C-alpha cells in the first residue's frame, strides 16, 4: 500500500529494506492471524503474486504496523499482510482519522464565516 505523503516522514529512512525483510520472513504468505478481525483460529491463506481467494485481483503482500505507529519498526510489531487483511486491520484507525479531518474542516469553515 502506498504511503500517504503526510505520513511519509513517520517512516524510517530504510523502510524499503525493513519491508523487504518482513515480507521475506513471511515466506510469501500473509502473516495475519486475526489482527484483521478474520482468521481467528488460523493464519490467512493468501499468497503473494497469486490470484486472491477471497477478493478480486492478485495478492500483493504489504507490511502492517500492529500498533499503527509507523516509527515502531521492531520485527514483533510488523506483519506481512495481504491487501484485504491490511485494510481491515487499519480500518478503525482510518475511520477515526477521517472523522477528525471532517471535524477540523467543519471548524475551519465555521471560523471563516
What's the pLDDT tens digit per position in 6-18?
A: 778 888 999 999 9
DSSP per-residue string spanning 13-77:
TTHHHHHHHHHHHTTTB---SSTTSS-TTS----BTTSBPSSSSSB---EEEETTS-TT---GGG
On the question of pLDDT at 111 being above 80, the answer is no
Give the global pTM: 0.82
**Does residue 3 come out as left (phi exceeding 0), alpha (psi in the -120 to 50 range) or beta?**
beta
Position 109 scores a pLDDT of 62
The model's pLDDT over 34-65, given as tens digits with 9 standing for 90+, comes to 999 987 789 999 999 999 998 889 999 999 99
Amino acid at each position: 500500500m502506498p504511503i500517504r505523503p503526510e505520513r511519509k516522514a513517520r517512516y524510517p529512512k530504510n523502510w524499503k529494506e525493513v519491508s523487504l525483510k518482513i515480507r521475506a520472513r513471511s515466506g510469501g504468505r500473509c502473516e495475519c492471524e486475526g489482527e484483521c478481525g478474520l482468521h481467528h483460529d488460523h493464519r490467512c491463506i493468501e499468497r503473494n503474486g497469486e490470484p486472491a481467494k477471497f477478493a478480486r485481483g492478485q495478492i500483493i503482500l504489504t507490511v502492517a504496523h500492529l500498533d499503527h505507529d509507523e516509527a515502531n519498526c521492531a520485527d514483533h510489531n510488523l506483519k506481512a499482510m495481504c491487501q484485504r487483511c491490511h485494510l481491515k486491520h487499519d480500518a478503525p484507525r482510518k475511520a477515526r482519522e477521517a472523522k477528525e479531518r471532517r471535524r477540523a474542516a467543519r471548524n475551519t469553515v465555521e471560523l471563516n464565516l
